[in-house]
């Protein structure tokens, strides 16, 4: 492959790594913000159900304990979020590393087909 293509692949790897690092860095603050917001949304939803519906509607939502499922999902995201970012980064880097080989194979087949 030409040196220009290698430079493009290197730049793509650099940009991919930068984006992955930013996502990795912001995973915990964003999930903490979501956890705080989620509690407020669930509480306001129960209050709204009591106000707009009736007391029994709010009691039904309170009995369903709607705060536990989103909290469990956020807990799962907190435990697997950074690991998932690393796995996706590795897959992207592998794809970018294999890309020049794939492009050269496609180029060879294309040149053979034209002759």
* pLDDT at site 60: 65
Domain count, the chain: 1
Q: How far is CA 30 from CA 23, 38, 68, 75, in A?
A: 10, 12, 19, 13
User: Is there a domain that residue 25 lies in?
Assistant: yes
The rounded distance, in Å, linking the Cα atoms of 39 and 95 is 40
Number of Cβ within 10 Å of residue 24's Cβ equals 15
* pTM value > 0.85: no
For residues 81 and 38, the answer to whether their CB atoms sit within 8 Å is no
Tokens describing residue 29: 């603050």
Domain of residue 33 covers: 3-110
User: Is there a domain that residue 70 lies in?
Assistant: yes
The rounded distance, in Å, linking the Cα atoms of 81 and 31 is 9
Instruction: Name the burial class of residue 89, with classes exposed (0-12), middle (13-18) and buried (19+) by CB atoms within 10 angstroms of its CB.
Output: middle
The rounded distance, in Å, linking the Cα atoms of 98 and 92 is 10
Q: What are phi and psi of 2, to 5 degrees?
A: -80, 150
Of 44 and 9, which is predicted with more confidence? 9
User: Is there a domain that residue 37 lies in?
Assistant: yes
User: Is there a domain that residue 115 lies in?
Assistant: no
Tokens describing residue 44: 């306001």
**Which tens digits make up the pLDDT trace of 25-71?**
998 888 888 877 777 777 776 666 666 666 666 666 666 665 566 77
User: Is there a domain that residue 23 lies in?
Assistant: yes
User: Is there a domain that residue 62 lies in?
Assistant: yes
């Amino acid at each position: 492959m030409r040196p220009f293509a290698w430079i493009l692949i290197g730049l793509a790897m650099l940009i991919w790594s930068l984006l992955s690092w930013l996502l990795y860095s912001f995973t915990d603050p964003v999930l903490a913000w979501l956890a705080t917001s989620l509690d407020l949304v669930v509480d306001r939803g129960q209050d709204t159900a009591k106000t707009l519906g009736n007391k029994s509607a709010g009691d039904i939502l309170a009995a369903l304990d709607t705060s536990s499922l989103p909290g469990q999902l956020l807990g799962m995201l907190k435990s697997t979020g950074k690991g998932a970012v690393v796995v996706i980064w590795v897959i992207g880097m592998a794809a970018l590393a294999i890309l020049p080989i794939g492009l050269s194979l496609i180029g060879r087949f294309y040149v053979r087909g034209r002759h």
